[in-house]
């Protein structure tokens, strides 16, 4: 199965307690695509400026990411400048230059319209709706968003959420969107807006999946050396959707495995700047870390030794 | 196996968004004992004033908690007045009257000195050391503490920590004690102080166990209706130590099960004020919720469907 992703492509300049990089490959669609490409074919829709380095195009093509939907416009590529303090918990935006991303109007190439899975990365919900108007009966639509859209485009966001299957957002956004501080009550309120599945990203605490009749809780990988948390959420979504596309089944047991694969991919991404750790990553390494997650969470049934 | 617990016995007045109670049964040794009593025999050492209601004594005896070590002194019982805001994350202390607890000098009755498991609840580390001087080769010594002792009695605390097997503290305290913001690095620093096992309480995110060569991550029960989080940590420790005493084995697989039992007991406690939920709790309810934790965390091995 093929995955369509629509989101940002950026050149990031990032400072963390472990180092500093300038104008490295970034953006939600990039982190998502590279992670998903380990599992499935990815169709990318985004926009770049004339200044976007050719080496990045080459790398994305090497990863077999389809770039027919990557529009090249007059002007400069979207730039983000950010900084993390020593606890890595908050990204402080120092500068944002939207450039060509400012007028991004996603156009889905004909060959992409029948992608079985669609991921709407965190962009204006009005653009997310435009994407949904261009695709033909995908089997799974997943979507991310952020506090800015909850605060400024709530009605468009709710329209999008009504049309999707899986909402993948941060814990704080769950509570803000539902106006409810109890996470489980907030989750149920969001399920009542439309999606059958809510996936809650909890940073260093892992992720939770809430469905009408079940909850799944996954830990984060215990990371001793974090270099750059940028893109962890999009990488998670990429691993998650990638595994689902590869599996072709969307039963709960597959969703649970997909969450672990998403967590595995995110845990690798933050070990280096940009998507650099994924450049050298191998599938045996992914499988090995999946096994670590299993050991990390395993406990015997109550009656095991009786 | 028998458990010795040394800690506070209190009368708590508590306000939460769901209600208000006055002078109800509380204190670390109480929450711990009542939870542990579902699994094993408990020897309690603490202090009460002349005003301590007889009904509480009766209740503790009904739960087969041994009270030979509960000293009754001239004066009033320790009182704590606290409040929680709508997110239940922080307890705000409105008033503390130490009363007889101010001069608490734990004396371990002869019959208690050979208790196989010892839990030092969160009290002055100098008193914790005095307790350890009175016991005879327990198989497991576990200990709690808090930021106040880290900040004010660090050298006594480090002496205690050197002598114990299991440290059970909050995530924030782990980082403060180790002066390190990365939780895994901080955990390793604490293991180097002496204990073989560190158990990190993470509130609504669950608990983690860090040992030299392994990490276990357990989620919290997804609670929709929290009434009063007071005592959750001590109830966790009570369920944890209670299960270990009952099992008689301290292998890692038993420690993991014990953490789940601790989480189960804590999840019940916060459903009502004081230890009230534990008054009516049955063992089948405990077993049932253990099963819920299993479902909450289960995911297939990577190769399951191949």
CATH superfamily placement of domain A2-297:
Ribokinase (3.40.1190.20)
- Position B37 pLDDT exceeds 50: yes
Q: Count of alpha carbons within 13 Å of B123, Cβ hemisphere only?
A: 28
pLDDT at B86: 81
* CA A211 – CA A191 distance, rounded (Å): 7
- Over residues A137-147, the mean pLDDT reads 97
Q: What is the mean pLDDT of chain B?
A: 96
Pick from B91, B36, B87, B42: which is nearest to B236 by CA? B36
Residue A306, pLDDT > 50, answer: no
Nearest to B216 among A184, A291, A296 (CB): A296
Instruction: Quickly state the pLDDT bin for A89 (edges 50, 70, 90).
Output: confident
- Judged against a pLDDT cut of 90, whether residue B87 lies above it is answered with no
pLDDT of residue B90: 83
Domain ranges in chain B are 2-297
Residues paired with A87 in a beta bridge: none
Do B234 and B7 meet the contact criterion of CB atoms below 8 Å apart? yes
Strand order in the sheet with B166-170: B65-73, B41-49, B2-6, B117-120, B140-143, B166-170, B197-201, B207-211, B214-218
B-interface mutation test, from A181, A182, A304, most B Cβ less than 10 A away: A182
Structure-derived torsion over alpha carbons of residues A295, A296, A297, A303, reported in degrees to the nearest 10: 50
pLDDT value of residue B304: 61
pLDDT digits (tens, 9 = 90+) for B4-23: 999 999 999 999 999 999 99
Suggest the residue from A246, A302, A303, A306 to mutate for an interface test with chain B (most B CBs closer than 10 A). A302
Query: B249 to chain A: nearest residue by CA?
Result: A305
Q: How far, in Å, CA of B186 to CA of B179, rounded?
A: 7
The greatest distance separating any two alpha carbons of chain B, rounded to the nearest whole angstrom, comes to: 71
Q: pLDDT > 90: what percent of chain A?
A: 96
Structure tokens at B154: 């660090």
Model pTM score? 0.96
pLDDT in tens, B165-222: 999 999 999 999 999 999 999 999 999 999 999 999 999 999 999 999 999 999 999 9
Asked if B297 lies within 8 A of A206 by C-beta distance, the reply is no
pLDDT of amino acid A303: 85
Average pLDDT score over residue span B27-51: 98
**Distance between B154 CA and the closest CA of chain A, angstroms:** 24
- Give the chain B residue nearest A298 (alpha carbons): B216
Q: Identify all chain A residues contacting B287, using CB atoms and an 8 Å cutoff.
A: 302
Instruction: Convert the pLDDT of each residue in A152-209 to its tens digit.
Output: 999 999 999 999 999 999 999 999 999 999 999 999 999 999 999 999 999 999 999 9
Average pLDDT value over all residues in chain A: 96
- Among B185, B205, B222, the residue with its CB nearest the CB of A224 is B185
Average of per-residue pLDDT across B96-115: 95
The answer to whether the CB of B285 falls within 8 A of the CB of B268 is yes
């Amino acid at each position: 199965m093929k995955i369509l992703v629509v989101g940002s492509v950026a050149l990031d300049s990032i400072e963390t307690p472990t180092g500093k990089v300038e104008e490295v490959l970034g953006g939600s669609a990039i982190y998502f695509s590279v992670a998903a490409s380990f599992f499935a074919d990815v169709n990318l829709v985004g926009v770049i400026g004339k200044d976007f380095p050719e080496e990045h195009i080459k790398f994305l093509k090497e990863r077999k990411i389809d770039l027919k939907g990557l529009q090249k416009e007059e002007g400069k590529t979207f730039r983000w400048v950010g900084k993390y303090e020593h606890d890595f918990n908050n990204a402080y935006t120092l500068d944002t230059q939207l450039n060509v991303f400012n007028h991004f109007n996603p156009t889905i190439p004909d060959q992409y319209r029948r992608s079985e899975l669609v991921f709407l990365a965190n962009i204006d919900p009005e653009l997310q709706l435009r994407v949904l108007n261009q695709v033909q009966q995908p089997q799974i639509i997943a979507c991310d968003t952020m506090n800015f859209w909850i605060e400024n485009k709530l009605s468009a966001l709710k329209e999008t959420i009504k049309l999707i299957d899986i909402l993948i957002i941060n814990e704080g956004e769950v509570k803000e969107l539902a106006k409810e501080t109890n996470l489980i009550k907030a989750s149920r309120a969001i399920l009542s807006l439309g999606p059958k599945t809510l996936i809650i990203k909890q940073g260093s605490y892992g992720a939770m999946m809430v469905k009408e009749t079940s909850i799944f809780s996954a830990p984060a990988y215990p990371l001793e050396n974090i270099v750059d948390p940028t893109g962890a959420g999009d990488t998670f979504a990429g691993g998650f959707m990638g595994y689902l596309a590869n599996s072709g089944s969307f039963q709960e047991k597959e969703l649970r495995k997909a969450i672990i694969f998403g967590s595995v991919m995110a845990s690798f991404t933050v070990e280096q700047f940009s998507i650099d750790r994924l450049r050298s990553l191998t599938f045996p390494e992914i499988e090995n870390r999946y096994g670590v997650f299993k050991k990390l969470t395993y406990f015997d049934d109550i009656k095991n030794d009786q």
